[in-house]
Amino acid sequence: MSPEDCMRIQSNLGSDIAMAFDECVEIPSPRDYVEESCDRTYRWLVRCRDEIDRQKKAPGVINKEQVLFGINQGATFPDVRISHMKRIAELDLPGYAIGGLAVGETTQEMYDLVDTVEEHMPEDRSRYLMGVGTPQNIIEAAARGIDFFDCVMPARNGRHGRFYTWNGSININNEAFKDEDAPIDSECGCPVCRTFSRAYIRHLFRAGEMLAMRLAVLHNLYFYNALMARIRAAIETGEFDALRKEFGNEL
């Protein structure tokens, strides 16, 4: 696939945001390869920008307002990350993503790299941390200036019986929940918590019922949306530090 193919596909999908074609390198990777990869990713980004501009002017385009986000790469080399971020920022795109993290580095390395890159991201553009993460990751990244996220964790972990709650995550397969009539989370307003008990949901998992996974994903997605709503509200009211202290090490 070429960068042009990537843009044409996303144009046909009509998404609000198109992500640039990039290379997400393995961590760790040799520095010389990472530098070459960043150069290649930059060249691809320029081609993506030109192609999406063409697509938006084409007859029958689905979304003429579609915008392109560039993706910062550089593995775990801070200076490479900074150099690449500065280069893609010069293209004056509507938003920028930090990619290539949560793929083998430690959590602290990820936070440190976000700190490193964030300083060089345009202040008036959207900031997106790709493929992240746990509720703790999201709170800590938001504290570092990140606006939004994507991750498979609420769905993937839910399918294995991991439920996120405001008192920490639980594994519903544990024997302790066999006869528990309480909802997954008494503070949650999702349809699952309003309707079903922990014991019933555990029964569904133990019986191999597909409904178990559907309920788990529904609850976890609701929780993640509620978490983001709390983060936004706390930022607006100047209470984010208190929220970070209360939940940052518990969810």
Residue at which a domain ends, from 136, 151, 166: 151
User: pLDDT for 74-99, tens place per residue?
Assistant: 999 999 999 999 999 999 999 999 99
Q: How many structural domains are present in the chain?
A: 2
Report pLDDT for 123: 94
Mean pLDDT value across the chain: 97
CA atoms within 13 A on the CB side of 126: 16
The model's confidence at residue 248, banded by pLDDT at 50, 70 and 90, is confident
Place of tokens 């920022």: 89
What would the pLDDT profile of 192-240 be if each residue is shown by its tens digit? 999 999 999 999 999 999 999 999 999 999 999 999 999 999 999 999 9
CATH number at residue 71: 3.20.20.105
Query: At 184, is the pLDDT very low, low, confident or very high (cuts 50, 70, 90)?
Result: very high
Residues 30 and 120 in one domain: yes
**Helices 198-207 and 210-236: crossing angle, nearest 10°?**
130
The string of pLDDT tens digits covering residues 21-30 is 999 999 999 9
Domain shared by 143 and 172, yes or no = no
171: which DSSP letter? Answer: E
Residue 226's domain comprises: 154-247
**Whether residue 46 has pLDDT greater than 90:** yes
| Ordered strands of the 126-129 beta sheet | 17-19, 67-72, 95-98, 126-129, 148-149
Domain boundary among 96, 117, 151: 151
